[in-house]
């Protein structure tokens, strides 16, 4: 989760709340415990944030009275959280689906038209203010999507909200570039914001600066551009050194967003310029050693009606030079749009439409033909408690099943319709 660029509201927020919110507040239930607040204070329906939740997030994830729950031992340069911040999120699903696991090279397939995805994930989250201007946040996931024996840390960062008194916020760590638009973790559907994943603008390591400038919010960041899994030995001096290389090349990815409000509509323009390794090998499943140019441009729009219906839309245009063959440009586009309707304290209805056209990647006989998507996901959430919900979701795949056309088993070889039920809880 990336804290979006500071809004003008933040200053107002801080001033107003300081006067009235002196006692010691997210899908982070630890905030609710720390500030003695109901989850409803920050969430329209977990995990979707309401207006106050967005204020809280943009205020470096704290309330003005954050120090009240800390231990200083008489040292005014110390503000330890009275207890380590810890919260959990857990999901478990049972699914009926048409999608299969197909080896793109051999075509060997495995099929499970019903599936107990239990647990789907167990997430441990922690966040707290550490000083007047510094907040940390991280979460780790145990056994994500059935990967038992695995732990992965996704968001993990420090953020200073007023660098050298300049009003510039700086986040250093691991985060999703796409969080500048719509954070995936606060979506209501099981179905993902697929265009973000396909464009490769999710998790990366780097730094992000943000500042409000008049009515505009600006954000500019640099990342390694290779995701969050590289961990290379440094052995050029002969004997391997204890440090590790997180980046695998000398290039960095530059990205940013400029956003604002036009009446009831929030808008934003996103841009990214960087490098990515080419795809090679059978069906393009291997990573090559060429650094190829990557450009992404995006437009996001969102708004809400009376705090009951939220709508959002994202468009991405991608330009990947030399990605498969040298001297060739691969351009494709995609996006998504959705609505979340809060019917009452118990029922929430959501719809998410995903669309992407593989464009120049079509017919390449690589797995990237699979960027094609055209689906509608309808979700119903029933809240047993503020922090525990039962979900039901159905996905309609509008693409036709296609037969294998090249050497490899790529493309839309099976339909992706699914029906899913399950639980999602944060505590």
Partner 1 sequence: MLRSEPALALILALGVASLSAHAASLQIRQLRIESDPSGAEVHGIGGLLGTTPLSIPERAIYPNDFPDERLPWYGVVELRHPGCRPLRHRVTLKDVTQGLHLRLQCTDTGMPAPPARPESAPGAKQATRRTDPYRRRLRQLKVLQELLEDGLISAEEEANIRRRILEQVDE
Minimal distance, residue 11 CB to partner 1, in Å: 11
Question: Where do the DSSP E strands lie in 86-229?
Answer: 87-97, 101-102, 109-110, 114-129, 134-142, 151-160, 169-176, 203-213, 216-223
Q: Which is nearer to partner 1, 138 or 421 (CB)?
A: 421
Minimal distance, residue 306 CB to partner 1, in Å: 6
Minimal distance, residue 10 CB to partner 1, in Å: 11
Cα 217–221–226 angle (5° rounding)? Answer: 145
Is residue 276 reached through a cis peptide bond, with omega within 30 degrees of 0 on the bond before it? no
Minimal distance, residue 15 CB to partner 1, in Å: 9
Candidate ranges 9-17, 217-225, 249-257, 349-357; the one touching partner 1 (CB under 8 A): 9-17
Token readout for 164 is 């050298």
Q: Which is nearer to partner 1, 244 or 308 (CB)?
A: 308
Is residue 119 reached through a cis peptide bond, with omega within 30 degrees of 0 on the bond before it? yes
Q: Which is nearer to partner 1, 110 or 289 (CB)?
A: 110
End-to-end CA distance of the chain: 18
Minimal distance, residue 112 CB to partner 1, in Å: 8
Using rule CB under 8 A, residue 313 touches partner 1: no
Q: Which is nearer to partner 1, 190 or 408 (CB)?
A: 190
- How far is the C-alpha of 145 from the C-alpha of 122, rounded, in Å? 9
CA 142 to chain centre: 17
Cα 102–94–343 angle (5° rounding)? Answer: 120
Cβ pair 105, 85 in contact under 8 A: no
Give the 3-state secondary structure of residue 57: helix
- Can you tell me which of 158, 315, 396, 421 binds partner 1, judged by CB under 8 A? 421
- Mention every residue, 6+ apart, whose C-beta is less than 8 A from residue 242: none
Q: Which is nearer to partner 1, 50 or 278 (CB)?
A: 50
Cβ pair 373, 411 in contact under 8 A: no
Cβ pair 358, 410 in contact under 8 A: no
Q: Which is nearer to partner 1, 69 or 284 (CB)?
A: 69
Q: Which is nearer to partner 1, 215 or 307 (CB)?
A: 307
- How far is the C-alpha of 64 from the C-alpha of 336, rounded, in Å? 36
Using rule CB under 8 A, residue 425 touches partner 1: no
Using rule CB under 8 A, residue 342 touches partner 1: yes
Minimal distance, residue 69 CB to partner 1, in Å: 11
Q: How many CB atoms lie within 10 A of CB 242?
A: 6
Using rule CB under 8 A, residue 10 touches partner 1: no
Q: Which is nearer to partner 1, 36 or 326 (CB)?
A: 36
Using rule CB under 8 A, residue 231 touches partner 1: no
In the region spanning residues 12 to 71, those forming contacts with partner 1, defined by CB under 8 A, are 12-13, 16-17, 19-23, 32, 36-38, 40-41, 44, 50-52, 55, 65, 68
Using rule CB under 8 A, residue 370 touches partner 1: no
160 vs 5, 127, 209, 210, 268, CA distance in Å?
Answer: 12, 14, 10, 10, 23
Using rule CB under 8 A, residue 308 touches partner 1: yes
Query: x/- string (CB under 8 A) for partner 1, residues 83-102?
Result: -----------x-x------
Q: Which residues bind partner 1 (CB under 8 A)?
A: 9, 12-13, 16-17, 19-23, 32, 36-38, 40-41, 44, 50-52, 55, 65, 68, 94, 96, 112-114, 304, 306-308, 342, 344-346, 382, 384, 390, 421
């Amino acid at each position: 989760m990336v804290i979006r660029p500071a809004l003008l509201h933040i200053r107002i927020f801080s001033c107003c709340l300081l006067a009235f919110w002196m006692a010691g507040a997210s899908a982070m239930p630890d905030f609710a415990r720390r500030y003695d607040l109901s989850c409803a204070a920050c969430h329209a329906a977990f995990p979707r944030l309401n207006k106050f939740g967005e204020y809280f997030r943009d205020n470096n994830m704290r309330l003005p009275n954050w120090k009240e729950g800390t231990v200083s031992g008489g040292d005014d340069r110390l503000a330890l959280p009275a207890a380590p911040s810890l919260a959990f999120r857990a999901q478990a699903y049972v699914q009926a689906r048409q999608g299969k696991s197909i080896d793109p090279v051999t075509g060997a397939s495995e099929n499970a038209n019903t599936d107990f995805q239990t647990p789907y994930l167990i997430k441990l989250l922690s966040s707290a203010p550490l000083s007047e201007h510094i907040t940390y946040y991280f979460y780790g996931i145990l056994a994500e999507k059935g990967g038992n024996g695995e732990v992965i840390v996704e968001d993990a960062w420090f953020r200073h909200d007023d660098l050298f008194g300049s009003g510039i916020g700086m986040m250093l760590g691991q985060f999703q570039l796409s969080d500048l638009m719509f954070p995936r973790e606060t979506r209501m559907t099981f179905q993902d914001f697929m265009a973000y994943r396909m464009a490769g603008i999710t998790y990366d390591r780097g730094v992000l600066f943000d500042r409000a400038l008049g009515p505009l919010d600006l954000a500019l960041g640099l990342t390694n551009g290779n995701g969050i899994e590289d961990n290379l030995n440094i052995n050029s001096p002969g004997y391997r050194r204890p440090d590790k290389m997180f980046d695998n090349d000398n290039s960095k990815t530059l990205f940013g967003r400029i956003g604002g409000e036009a009446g009831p509509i929030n808008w934003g323009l996103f841009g990214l310029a960087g490098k990515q390794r080419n795809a090679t090998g059978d069906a393009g499943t291997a990573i090559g050693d060429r650094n190829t140019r990557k450009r992404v441009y995006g437009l996001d729009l969102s708004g809400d009606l009376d705090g009951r219906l939220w709508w959002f839309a994202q468009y991405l245009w991608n330009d990947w030079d030399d990605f498969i063959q040298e001297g060739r440009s691969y351009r494709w586009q995609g996006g998504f749009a959705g609505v979340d309707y809060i019917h009452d304290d118990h029922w929430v209805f959501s719809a998410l439409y995903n669309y992407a056209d593989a464009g120049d990647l079509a017919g390449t006989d690589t797995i990237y033909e699979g960027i094609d998507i055209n689906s509608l996901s309808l979700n119903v959430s029933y809240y047993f408690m503020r922090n525990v919900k039962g979900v039901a979701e159905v996905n309609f795949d509008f693409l036709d099943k296609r037969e294998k056309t090249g050497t490899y088993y790529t493309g839309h070889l099976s339909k992706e319709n699914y029906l899913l039920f399950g639980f999602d809880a944060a505590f």
